[in-house]
Amino acid sequence: MSFPLFHRPGTVVFLDDDPDYLEMLALVLPRHWYVKLFLRPVECINYLQQEPPFWEADAWNQQQLIDQWRQGKRLIPQILGYWSRYTERYALTRVCVFDYSMPGMDGLQALSELVDWPGSRVLLTGQADEQVAVRAFNRGLIDQFIAKQTPDISRRLIEAVEHLLATPNARHAQTWRVTLGPEQNALLRMPSVGRDLAAFAARRWIEHVVIGDPFGILGMDAAGHVSWLQLETLEGLKAQAELAELEGVPPSALQDIRQGRRLADLELRQGLGGSGPPELAAASPVGQDGALLGALFTVDSPLCPDPDNSYNNWLARQSKRHVQA
């Protein structure tokens, strides 16, 4: 799996006709997930069928950022504005988990009703249903299936959903990849680079966007704090040192830049339209190939989203987990 160019959390929906099983899930699923629990297929299907227009509107909003960038508008302030304005993006369901064995309508029949819904699909099966699930997987009707009799089913289910939540969305990737140059694309496709960036993002952010102009990753944590992981090739260090010299960076710091020990936030400041002396941060290798360096900078700007609209605060404002009767 390649490192996602665009990532954010989203809702996880469960459908099962066993209320006790759903109540158990409400207790054991990670608290940082927004979870909806449904007993009845019709209510669950109706809920998810309402979402495609909102997915389309969100995709259009993202495409507008790219279109305005092509017209010369800076990307970083636009992304910060997108994060500030569209807080209900977290409500879009990223993954649904349906039980196969339900009276009246089985899980595959329920999933077949979700023609335009773009999220990932998991089917829970009994032992006798495994071949049905295999055929559904091979036909592309589901993304994963899990047998309910699997030992430690809760852990297995959480791992499967987390994997799907981390899987890049093809449409988002297509939208944001146009900001990257061929060399940047090639670097991000290196397996070791992808692994390092994925591990870094998982530790620090719940939401991020990779851009190529300037080259780096804008990320936000669950409390709404924004930071910028600047990415720089070894070949680009000389040019950055020359720019830093023009900005009055002292000779000792210039040598650190040339040697790849530190990077300056020149492109971030330019991207935000800011002024003042450059900030330097320690640089670390990204990946095992020695071709890419990264340095993390805090983004402290009036353009940053209001902390009241952080993911943590959005999640706290949602209704508590309960089974939809």
Q: How far apart are the C-alpha atoms of 254 and 261, rounded to whole Å?
A: 10
Sheet holding 284-285, edge to edge: 6-7, 207-212, 215-220, 226-233, 292-298, 284-285
Q: Between β-strands 6-7 and 284-285, what pairing exists: parallel, antiparallel or unpaired? A: unpaired
* CA nearest to 7, candidates 167, 224, 117: 167
Alpha-carbon span 144 to 156, nearest angstrom = 11
Q: How far apart are CA 269 and CA 202, in angstroms?
A: 25
- Rounded to the nearest 5°, which phi and psi values hold at 222? -65, -20
- Stretch 302-316: mean pLDDT: 92
Helix or strand (DSSP H, E) at 185: helix 182-188
pLDDT at 132: 82
How would residue 150 be classed by pLDDT, with cut points 50, 70 and 90?
confident
**Domain layout of the chain by residue ranges:** 6-51+92-169, 178-307
Distance CA 75, CA 302 (A): 16
Predicted pLDDT at 126: 78
> What pLDDT is attached to residue 128?
62
Strands 120-125, 144-147: pairing is: parallel
Q: How confident is the model at residue 311 (pLDDT cuts 50, 70, 90)?
A: very high
* Token pair for 33: 């997930």
Interval 56-76: pLDDT, tens: 999 999 999 999 999 999 999
226 SS3 class: strand
Per the CB < 8 A criterion, the answer to whether 267 and 278 are in contact is no
Say whether pLDDT at 233 is over 90.
yes
Rounded CA separation 198/67 (Å):
27
- Candidates 194, 199, 268, 258; CA nearest to 228 is 268
SS (H, E, C) 78-144: HHHHHHHHCHHHHHCEEEEEEECCCCCCCHHHHHHCCCCCCCEEEEEECHHHHHHHHHHHHCCCCCE
Q: What is the CATH class of 6-51+92-169? A: alpha beta
Residue 323: alpha-carbon gap to chain centroid: 27
Q: What is the pLDDT of residues 109-132, one digit of tens each?
A: 999 999 899 999 999 987 667 788
Radius of gyration of the chain (CA): 22
Query: What pairs with residue 294 in β-bridges?
Result: 231, 284
pLDDT at residue 276 tops 80? no
- Tell me the C-alpha distance between 63 and 266, whole Å: 26
Q: What is the pTM of this model?
A: 0.92
Which has the closest alpha carbon to 220: 119, 166, 299?
A: 299
Q: Report the distance separating Cα 147 and Cα 153, nearest Å.
A: 8
Q: What is the pLDDT of residue 240?
A: 93
Q: How many CA atoms lie within 13 A of 310 on its CB side?
A: 16
**Quick check: 178 pLDDT over 60?**
yes
Q: How far apart are CA 192 and CA 187, in angstroms?
A: 10
Q: What is the pLDDT of residue 147?
A: 87
Q: Is 229 exposed, middle or buried (0-12, 13-18, 19+ CB in 10 A)?
A: buried
Interatomic CA distance for residues 22 and 20, integer angstroms: 5
Phi then psi for residue 70, to 5 deg, are: -60, -25
